[in-house]
Amino acid sequence: MGTVAIFGAGVMGETLLSGLLRAGRPAEELVITERRPERAVELTDKYGVRALSNVEAAAEAETLVLVVKPQDMAALLEEIGPHVAQANLVVSLAAGITTDFIESHLPEGRSVVRVMPNTPALVDEGMAAVSAGRHCQPDQLEHARSLLAATGKVTEVPEKLQDAVTAMSGSGPAYIFYVVEAMIEAGVVLGMPRATATELVTQTLYGAATMLRETGQHPTVLREQVTSPGGTTAAALRVLDDHKVRAAFVSAIEAAAVRSKELSGG
Ligand SMILES: NC(=O)C1=CN([C@@H]2O[C@H](COP(=O)(O)OP(=O)(O)OC[C@H]3O[C@@H](n4cnc5c(N)ncnc54)[C@H](O)[C@@H]3O)[C@@H](O)[C@H]2O)C=CC1
Ligand SMILES: O=C(O)[C@@H]1CCC=N1
């Protein structure tokens, strides 16, 4: 499938790079570009891949994966645009950046795929959603899917849903970690050593996630199984309802989707 170049080797760029290597893609077929020289050295030492300039990477690679911040995307596209050939596939992982925006910065007719991944890709449990740009062929979309499948599940969504995907699964791990932090804090308040609280919460989260995935049961059914009449869980859930925690989650995820839309302004 030719050389894959990762433009911007920060948190998400490294996550994808390491996943592709774990999935068996040879290091010789992967290149990175990185604005911070010390970061480029760190990753070339760690993974044995080459670091090139943006222009060199655009000229060499068949697949160009853009993993810079949304705010840095216009400058990157202006730099590499003239070097993106008809046969290339451009895959963007940036929140909020539309395929229209990318296509408008490239020569006419270039193939673009927009992807929203998430950080559990680091442990091959990622969730990514892909949307094809107007010139992307089915085999190119399949190629983008296969790159992402190296690090977890992949689904396809109409591009108009990508801001919602970003708010749900893109940012989603942060909401879960936030809940975990709060539960650990509660254990400490109840007099538990922090390490014990962390072990209890981590395994509970893992067990609950596995139940959701493996039983296929609705979360309401699973929650009701835990909630004995007049018991401890019911007492806790009443307090969460009193604090409008469910409504807060809905509003928070709406705010993330609004922010994703704003980022498309560049
Ligand atoms: N961190 C996350 O959980 C997720 C991030 N994303 C998207 O991935 C993209 C990157 O996010 P992070 O990795 O978190 O950010 P980051 O700041 O860790 O990484 C971005 C990297 O790009 C480099 N860079 C910036 N401009 C460059 C240029 N012109 N040429 C070469 N390198 C350049 C920076 O030095 C930095 O290392 C963003 O667009 C974000 O929306 C998407 C899903 C999840
Ligand atoms: O917070 C952000 O903007 C990025 C996009 C999704 C997750 N992190």
In a domain, 70, yes or no: yes
Chain segment 104-134, per-residue pLDDT in tens = 999 999 999 999 999 999 999 999 999 999 9
Beta 126-132 vs 63-66: how paired, if at all? unpaired
Instruction: Report d(CA 203, CA 215) in Å as an integer.
Output: 17
For ligand 1, say whether the CB of 223 is within 6 Å of any of its atoms: no
Give yes or no for residue 265 having a pLDDT over 70: no
CATH code, 76: 3.40.50.720
Distance of CA 120 from the midpoint of ligand 2 (Å): 13
Residues 137 and 187 in one domain: no
CB atoms within 10 A of CB 125: 14
Average pLDDT over residues 24-50: 98
Q: Please identify, among 128, 162, 196, the residue that sits at the C-terminal boundary of a domain.
A: 162
Alpha carbons within 13 angstroms on the beta-carbon side of residue 226 total 14
Q: What is the pLDDT of residues 151-205, one digit of tens each?
A: 999 999 999 999 999 999 999 999 999 999 999 999 999 999 999 999 999 999 9
155 and 256 together in one domain = no
Let me know whether 145 and 195 are in one domain: no
Q: Kindly indicate the confidence band of residue 266, based on its pLDDT and cuts at 50, 70 and 90.
A: very low
Two tokens at 69?
A: 């911040």
Residue minimizing CA distance to atom 1 of ligand 2 = 171
Q: Is 77 in the pocket of ligand 1 (CB under 6 A)?
A: no
Residues 68 and 148 both lie in one domain? yes
5-27 pLDDT per residue, tens: 999 999 999 999 999 999 999 99
Asked whether residue 132 falls in the same domain as residue 181, the answer is no
Residues 152 and 178 in one domain: no
State the total domains in the chain.
Answer: 2
CA 82 to chain centre: 28
CA of 34 to the centre of ligand 1 (A): 10
Ligand 2 centroid from CA 147, angstroms: 20
* Residues in contact with ligand 2 (CB, 6 Å cut-off): 95, 166, 170-171
**Residue recorded with tokens 């810079």:** 68
The domain that holds 224 is classified in CATH as: 1.10.3730.10
pTM attached to this predicted model: 0.95
* % pLDDT > 70, the chain: 99
Q: What gap in Å lies between CA 33 and CA 50, rounded to an integer? A: 9
Of 244, 212, 246, 245, nearest in space to 226 by CA? 212
